[in-house]
Chains A and B, each alone.
Chain A
């Protein structure tokens, strides 16, 4: 019988890990830096981004973030294959996490193999630091160890011990269960960990997870169309951002009311809320399992609360407000003297022209603070 050295197996695992790390870059959105969520492709250049990310970006500039080719929301389209690949990727990394957790908890009793071969403990150690390797190990190690190496190289005692390995136990006694969320087959001992991760990672909400039966069906396109149709049915057509300049406050509030959104806050808050709703709602429509409008509205309320909280905490810690700067004092001094000369200059012009008193007065005050207040000035001054 042919033996496979665990050293060479380790080589394979390492190269596989590199491949997987490269894969993570491919499925990462270049805007938010996370694994693509509801990937959308641009028609002209085929670059892919999260639906929500690219919709937000198109609000400020209609070019592809990667290649700058002019583009717009109208040129976004779904590619099922990309969506499925990302889904598959998520399953794969989830599995890697399950395995990683199990290994770190020593549920595999790997230490019992110590007397078998040093190579093994070596490959086990490398597998602990990065999850992609674990995925590989899970897929590859059990068949190899079972069929080849251990049968040839290890004494019978160790073989018996190895039977305690839970993944093999499951295999021999057929204790395999199906994950109610992603549908993959997995050993009963692992299923709880797996489901936990699956539940937290799922892109669709728990609301849609009502029964295991429904979940196993979610992959059918019929169900897909039905749920999309139910969301579509909420409003006649997809909402778009508007020419807010031409809208009165009342009209804007009417629109928000129509979508079931809050009408509180000043004009800017209303506009921001409407925009955010348009982005999120459309992204929801793009997704495989769109949630009801009420969930989108709830998300927006959460988001607004978070924004509010951030503004408060940011204002408190904002550097321009008289906080000493950890910078080179010389540099500070030079810039400050520059400011002073500018202030003098501004004063002179004010005396000369006599107008714009309030504006320059304000200017002077802001100068008196910290020199970093240059950030608060408009960038339009220089091009």
Chain B
């Protein structure tokens, strides 16, 4: 655990808080070899196309965190207009709207909220966004199908 001794106090505190008092439906556990790398699991929010799904993500705190945002990526395949095939997420707070007052906790909550409220007007997965706009019912059905195929335990 060489990287822990040089770890900023804020990261240590956030990790402790995440482990002691986890957010409902979200779990984030630091990797034992690298305390800046987290294995994240997010439950699909109720009354969304992702309900019942279990999504794995990875989260990495760069060297200049909290001045720079964490890097987050979906590892589980998901059909969503703001998440591409590589799992990259289109979310303003992970880019230009980042603020150091935000935390791992708030970022993961925002991602969970993004699952409840897809935004096809700011797409990363054009194909999904187009379908979402043209035929929302079919898009939701496809999303459910993806959950069944890839995100069910």
Contacts and interface: CB of A to CB of B under 8 A. Distances in A.
Main secondary structure of the interface of A (DSSP, over half): helix
Nearest to B32: A326
Scoring B37, B68, B150 by chain A CB atoms within 10 A of each residue's CB, the highest score goes to: B37
16 contacts: A30-B100, A31-B101, A32-B10, A33-B13, A66-B101, A311-B63, A314-B34, A317-B33, A319-B34, A327-B39, A327-B56, A327-B58, A332-B75, A382-B84, A383-B90, A383-B95
Given A32-B8, A319-B34, A383-B90, A331 B150 contact: yes
B100 A375 contact: no
Interface in A48-98: 53, 56-57, 59-61, 63, 65-66, 68
B75 A328 contact: yes
A314 B64 CA distance: 13
A201 to B, nearest CB: 14
A335 interface: yes
B86 A335 contact: yes
Interface residues of A, number: 42
A34 interface: yes
A309 B86 contact: no
A313 interface: yes
A66 B33 contact: no
B6 interface: yes
Interface in A303-342: 306, 309-311, 313-314, 316-319, 323, 326-328, 330-332, 334-335, 338-339
Contacts of A335: 75, 77, 86-87
Contacts of B95: 379, 383
Contacts of A65: 99-101
Nearest to A63: B99
Contacts of A68: 97, 99
A60 B8 CA distance: 19
A323 B58 contact: no
Nearest to A333: B77
Nearest to A323: B33
A327 B73 contact: no
Given A33-B13, A330-B150, A383-B90, 6 more contacts: A33-B10, A65-B101, A310-B3, A317-B3, A335-B86, A372-B58
A207 B148 CA distance: 65
Contacts of B34: 314, 317-319
Interface of B: 2-3, 6, 8-10, 13-14, 31, 33-34, 36-37, 39, 56, 58, 60, 63, 66-68, 71, 73, 75-77, 84-88, 90, 95, 97-101, 124, 150
A192 B67 CA distance: 39
A32 B6 contact: no
Contacts of B73: 374-375
Given A56-B67, A60-B67, A382-B88, A33 B14 contact: yes
Interface in A272-311: 306, 309-311
A375 B84 CA distance: 14
B6 A313 contact: yes
A316 B76 CA distance: 27
Contacts of B76: 328, 331
Contacts of A314: 3, 34, 36, 63
A374 B77 contact: no
Nearest 7 interchain pairs by C-beta: A33-B10, A65-B101, A30-B101, A310-B6, A331-B75, A65-B99, A31-B100
Nearest to A331: B75
Contacts of B39: 326-327
A310 B7 CA distance: 9
A335 to B, nearest CB: 6
Nearest to A68: B99
A57 B36 CA distance: 20
Contacts of A57: 67, 100
A271 to B, nearest CB: 14
Interface in A359-382: 372, 374-375, 379, 382
A34 B86 contact: no
A374 B88 contact: yes
A314 B3 CA distance: 6
A319 B37 contact: yes
A61 B96 CA distance: 9
Contact of B75 (A30, A34, A327, A383): A327
A30 B84 CA distance: 32
A334 B99 CA distance: 33
